[in-house]
Chains A and B, each alone.
Chain A
Amino acid sequence: MSGRVRESKGLWADAWLRLKQDRLAMVCLGLVVLFTILGLYGEAVHQYHAWNDLTPHYQQTDLASAYQAPSWGHWMGTDGLGRDVMARLVQGVRIAFKVGIITSLIAIPIGVMLGCLAGFFGGRVDDFIVWFYSTVASMPGLLFILAIAMVVPDRGLLGVYLGIGLTTWVGLCRLVRAEVMKHKEQPYVQAARALGIGPGRIMFKHILPNIFHIVIVTFTLRFPAAVGTEVIMSYLGIGVQDEPSWGIMIDAARMRLWQGMWWEMTFVTVALFLLVLAFNLLGDALRDALDPRLSE
């Protein structure tokens, strides 16, 4: 018998070890961190100007320097109103992160809450919730989002948050429901029941921590989807209004593309591509790391 007991590691530490071995995932994590820093920087710049009642430089026009190709002065060139594309791109990161995070804060609680209730109580509650999310899911996603965004007074980010947030919780809800059903029959839940612990406490104190990796993975995977949707909405003119969203930048850039003014379109699409790719790959890697059974 070996005298040494292998140091036990928690789920998270274990997952981190596994994740560290995946080089691609680490590169993606680096990218995500980089984007996060850019987003925070963008927010700081934005807040600074709002606080001091100033118009930020990325909103100030200068027609004399419109459509300049990338140079040392403007690394990513300037747009049709002479504004620095890079400064606006960074603001686009800020908007993208805001949308990704806030819509998650709306969608994930709804999905988790309804999923837990349905999975744990079963019966009529389950029937109702399944009926409800099936109804929501049966509506074409983008149209539903546009409809919500249209009824929100004063177009802008609020409509985007609500539109995306209120329509994208179904997948998570299904996962959580199934997982809770599985856990409900496990001995530790039975034990908790036998001790007379109330259903709320069992659901959120006992079961939820055990299925929380699902939430994490869902967050990383839905984040780029939300950003993509926001870009589409802004591109169509029903999303962000007077701030430099990527969708607005793409819309503005597309008209001059055929004249060879490639920089705005290129850098914005590359940024969008990298963000979506990084989050998706990271999400996949996280799923493998947090739920090793899947990869076996």
Chain B
Amino acid sequence: MIRWFYGSGGEGKRVLALLSCLLLWGCGERTEDVRDEVVSFSQTSRIRGLDPAVSGEVSSSMAISKIYEGLLQYDYLARPYEVIPLLAEAMPTVSEDGLVYTFRLRRGIYFQDDACFEGGKGRELTAEDFVYSIKRVADVKNSSSGFWAFNNRIVGLNEFHDRSKEPAATDYDAEVAGLRALDRYMLRIELTEPYPQLLYILTMHYSYAVPREAVEWYGRQFVNHPVGTGPYRLVKWRRNSRIEFERNPKWAETGRVELYPTEARGNEVDPKLLEDGGKQLPFIDRIVQYVIDDSTTSWMMFLSGQLGVSAISRDNWDAVITPDKALTDELGEKEIKLVSSPTLNLFYMGFNWDDPVLGEGATEAQRLQNRKLRQALSCAFDFEQLNAFMNQRLHPIGGPIPQPLTGSLSEASPYSFNLEQAEALLAEAGYPGGIDPATGRRLEITIELGSASGNARQMMELMADMFRKINVVLKPSFNTWPAFIEKMNRRQAQLFQLGWVADYPDAENFLQLFYSKNESPGPNHSNYRNEAFDRLYEQIRTMPISDERTALVEEMAAIIVEDCPWIFLYQPMQFGLVQQWVKNYVPHAFPYGMGKYRGVDVRERAKWVGENGSGGLDMGGAF
């Protein structure tokens, strides 16, 4: 349920608007020879905290995953996305009924040195650390943004969750039957029902190993004092301005071996990406990241060589990319590379099922009319217009499941752009010519937005004009992010715009957005209710991946398309520019913890800055 939002606001991560997705590219690198180190300078958005159990938004997750690690991780190069062991010695053994997962941990994994440990020396990681860390996510007092991942999944964990609601300090020694350390290196997880997505969940930072000593030592300050096993440790963090990591010396001290992958399964990659195969990670000694809010500033910094990777904002687009989606000659000559990849994100306009006009409707006749109205509005949405406005950076989507997940619709939805159909449906819905019989004027719909940025505003003006063509007035209401969330949770929106970023590469992650028990304040912000759909959802949730399951998923997608609780807007493409000195750069839909694979060619970079840089902009030595 990672919901990813515009900027870094919000209690989760909900994509709201368009350019924000490009912040994921914020692993841009810029290097400089300082004390003979390989230093990378890059961009990040605002980081809220570094506690794996609590923090939620993309920028925090990116920082956390540099310091902490989990049992499993995504393979950097393999496609489709594949889960491989990280702190686990191998993939878990799973019982016949799919309920019991047994992990064997790697030996000789140590936490970084920290004052919280005895003698200041980091101790070895044990299975007990994972038991403790997952309990922390379930502890109400931590108000974790990640409890959804384990909710009703692990035997006894919900009882622990309920007990932690009491005012007394939570007892972490209390047994959770489904979460046990069998010995120092064996972890046993017992589920309440089969949950094949558990493996994906265990790659997320909510499942990362946190040492109990650190939590107890730092108390409320733990969020500022991360203590992990990962490739980097925190040096200094200045909120909303700058964060610095350095190579975790514990790896060299304890002789930990972590190697760059030697193959890219199912993925044809540039052979250059495999050149470092089998080499010890990480490649970069020091990572310095700045919060740069203004896209023009970061663009200028990229051009002058201060950032190695840059997003391409909408306004830079035509200066950078030619109409056939290649780089302009000027940038091409400078050997800047263009990288693009589809994202597992979906943007939509949701109707509130409680709304008398656009929602479910009280009577059978009303239901039919309302559905026709939703379908009409869906037909009025002109994807090509929006795509032109967004410089052709979008991928059309006709159903609730983005490509390339199984179950995504192969053909266009019957309610994609068609003005005649829209007008016909509108008349059938009881609004001939768009005129609302109740007022005698054009039908007026209010859309709630969680951002008032120029881009969001212009996009709404464009949308309003699409609806104007069928004589429906779209009134935008711009909110601050918290006010927007408040309206959603109180079910006050009539229509709203949101996005969803996949937590894991499975259709279930998107279908849950229509499950009636997930209604607001859960992720089903449309408050969509449909018994047939609910039954199917409950069925597929526990099924292992199979053709039978895919058939059910397709059936569910068809129900959603017909019922139109959302207008499916688009699936964004990710485009980024990478300087030639950045090595091993591959876009990944789940980029957490991938920094360790990246490298930088310090000499190349110095040359570039010498030729293109301007000393005045250099932030390398600032602060």
A positions within 8 Å CB-CB of B: 53, 55, 59-61, 63, 80-81, 150, 154-155, 237-238, 241-242, 248, 251-252, 255-256, 258-259
Nearest CB of chain A from residue B318's CB, rounded to whole Å: 8
Residues of B within 8 A of A154 (CB): 477
A237 in contact with B477 (CB, 8 Å): no
B442 in contact with A53 (CB, 8 Å): yes
Residues of B within 8 A of A150 (CB): 480
Q: Which of these, A60, A81, A155, A241, contacts B458 with CB under 8 Å? A: A81
Nearest CB of chain A from residue B41's CB, rounded to whole Å: 23
List 23 contacting pairs A-B, 8 Å CB cutoff, sorted by A: A55-B464, A55-B465, A55-B468, A55-B473, A59-B461, A59-B465, A60-B465, A63-B388, A155-B477, A237-B454, A241-B457, A241-B476, A242-B460, A242-B464, A242-B476, A248-B457, A251-B454, A252-B454, A252-B458, A255-B296, A255-B314, A256-B315, A259-B315
- Assembled-state Cα–Cα distance A277/B477 (Å): 34
Q: Which of these, A59, A255, A256, contacts B464 with CB under 8 Å? A: A59
Residues of B within 8 A of A255 (CB): 295-296, 313-315, 454
Residues of A within 8 A of B265 (CB): none
- Assembled-state Cα–Cα distance A259/B314 (Å): 12
B478 in contact with A241 (CB, 8 Å): yes
Q: Mark B292-315, 1 if CB is under 8 A from A, else 0.
A: 000110000000000000000111
A238 in contact with B465 (CB, 8 Å): no
Nearest CB of chain A from residue B564's CB, rounded to whole Å: 24
Nearest 5 pairs between A and B by C-beta?
A237-B452, A255-B315, A61-B465, A251-B454, A55-B468
Instruction: Tell me if B552 is interfacial: C-beta within 8 Å of chain A.
Output: no
Q: Taking CB as reference atom, which chain B residue is nearest A241?
A: B478
B452 in contact with A238 (CB, 8 Å): yes
Instruction: Tell me if B418 is interfacial: C-beta within 8 Å of chain A.
Output: no
Residues of A within 8 A of B478 (CB): 155, 237, 241
Q: Taking CB as reference atom, which chain A residue is nearest B460?
A: A242
Instruction: Tell me if B212 is interfacial: C-beta within 8 Å of chain A.
Output: no
Instruction: Tell me if B603 is interfacial: C-beta within 8 Å of chain A.
Output: no
Nearest CB of chain A from residue B555's CB, rounded to whole Å: 37
- Assembled-state Cα–Cα distance A81/B386 (Å): 11
Which B472-497 residues have C-beta < 8 A from chain A? 473, 475-480
- Assembled-state Cα–Cα distance A154/B476 (Å): 10
Which B264-317 residues have C-beta < 8 A from chain A? 295-296, 313-315
- Assembled-state Cα–Cα distance A251/B313 (Å): 15
B389 in contact with A81 (CB, 8 Å): yes
Residues of B within 8 A of A248 (CB): 454, 457
Q: How big is the B interface, by class?
A: 20 to 34
Q: Which of these, B295, B461, B475, contacts A81 with CB under 8 Å? A: B461
Nearest CB of chain B from residue A82's CB, rounded to whole Å: 10
B476 in contact with A81 (CB, 8 Å): no
Q: Taking CB as reference atom, which chain A residue is nearest B480?
A: A150
Residues of A within 8 A of B315 (CB): 255-256, 259
Q: A241-B452, A241-B476 known; A80 and B464 CB under 8 Å?
A: no
Q: Using A81-B461, A248-B454 as known contacts, list a sample of 16 further A-B pairs with CB atoms less than 8 Å apart, ordered by residue number in A.
A: A55-B464, A55-B465, A59-B464, A61-B465, A63-B388, A80-B389, A81-B462, A237-B454, A241-B452, A241-B477, A242-B461, A242-B475, A252-B454, A252-B457, A255-B314, A259-B315
Residues of B within 8 A of A61 (CB): 385, 461-462, 465
- Assembled-state Cα–Cα distance A108/B439 (Å): 38
- Assembled-state Cα–Cα distance A80/B473 (Å): 21
- Assembled-state Cα–Cα distance A241/B453 (Å): 10
- Assembled-state Cα–Cα distance A150/B442 (Å): 30
- Assembled-state Cα–Cα distance A18/B441 (Å): 53
Nearest CB of chain A from residue B296's CB, rounded to whole Å: 7
Residues of B within 8 A of A237 (CB): 452-454, 457, 478
Q: Taking CB as reference atom, which chain B residue is nearest A252?
A: B454
Residues of B within 8 A of A252 (CB): 454, 457-458
B465 in contact with A259 (CB, 8 Å): no
Q: Mark B436-460, 1 if CB is under 8 A from A, else 0.
A: 0000011000000000111001101
Nearest CB of chain A from residue B331's CB, rounded to whole Å: 14
Q: A154-B477, A252-B458 known; A60 and B296 CB under 8 Å?
A: no
Residues of A within 8 A of B461 (CB): 59, 61, 81, 242
Instruction: Tell me if B319 is interfacial: C-beta within 8 Å of chain A.
Output: yes
- Assembled-state Cα–Cα distance A252/B295 (Å): 14
Residues of A within 8 A of B441 (CB): 53
Nearest CB of chain B from residue A220's CB, rounded to whole Å: 32
- Assembled-state Cα–Cα distance A116/B296 (Å): 51
Residues of A within 8 A of B442 (CB): 53
- Assembled-state Cα–Cα distance A26/B473 (Å): 44
- Assembled-state Cα–Cα distance A154/B318 (Å): 35
The residue among B315, B388, B453 with the most chain A CB atoms within 10 A of its own CB is B315
- Assembled-state Cα–Cα distance A252/B457 (Å): 9
Q: Which of these, B454, B468, B477, B479, contacts A60 with CB under 8 Å? A: B468
Q: Taking CB as reference atom, which chain A residue is nearest B473?
A: A55
Nearest CB of chain B from residue A253's CB, rounded to whole Å: 10
Residues of A within 8 A of B457 (CB): 237, 241-242, 248, 252
Residues of A within 8 A of B452 (CB): 155, 237-238, 241
Nearest CB of chain B from residue A58's CB, rounded to whole Å: 10
The residue among B295, B457, B460, B479 with the most chain A CB atoms within 10 A of its own CB is B457
Nearest CB of chain A from residue B474's CB, rounded to whole Å: 9
Q: Taking CB as reference atom, which chain B residue is nearest A55?
A: B468
Residues of B within 8 A of A259 (CB): 315, 318-319
Residues of B within 8 A of A60 (CB): 465, 468
Q: Taking CB as reference atom, which chain B residue is nearest A239?
A: B452
Nearest CB of chain B from residue A46's CB, rounded to whole Å: 15
The residue among B457, B461, B473 with the most chain A CB atoms within 10 A of its own CB is B461
Q: Taking CB as reference atom, which chain A residue is nearest B454?
A: A251
Residues of A within 8 A of B389 (CB): 63, 80-81
Residues of A within 8 A of B460 (CB): 242
Nearest CB of chain B from residue A235's CB, rounded to whole Å: 9
Q: Taking CB as reference atom, which chain B residue is nearest A67?
A: B318
Nearest CB of chain A from residue B557's CB, rounded to whole Å: 31
Residues of B within 8 A of A53 (CB): 441-442
- Assembled-state Cα–Cα distance A242/B454 (Å): 11
Residues of A within 8 A of B385 (CB): 61, 63
Residues of A within 8 A of B318 (CB): 259
Residues of A within 8 A of B319 (CB): 259
- Assembled-state Cα–Cα distance A194/B421 (Å): 82
- Assembled-state Cα–Cα distance A61/B468 (Å): 10
Nearest CB of chain B from residue A84's CB, rounded to whole Å: 14
- Assembled-state Cα–Cα distance A252/B314 (Å): 12
Nearest CB of chain B from residue A89's CB, rounded to whole Å: 16
Which B9-61 residues have C-beta < 8 A from chain A? none
- Assembled-state Cα–Cα distance A155/B483 (Å): 11
Nearest CB of chain B from residue A68's CB, rounded to whole Å: 14
Residues of B within 8 A of A155 (CB): 452, 477-479
- Assembled-state Cα–Cα distance A241/B448 (Å): 12
Q: Which of these, A80, A238, A242, A258, contacts B296 with CB under 8 Å? A: A258
Q: Taking CB as reference atom, which chain B residue is nearest A80?
A: B458
Nearest CB of chain B from residue A39's CB, rounded to whole Å: 22
Residues of A within 8 A of B468 (CB): 55, 60
- Assembled-state Cα–Cα distance A258/B478 (Å): 28
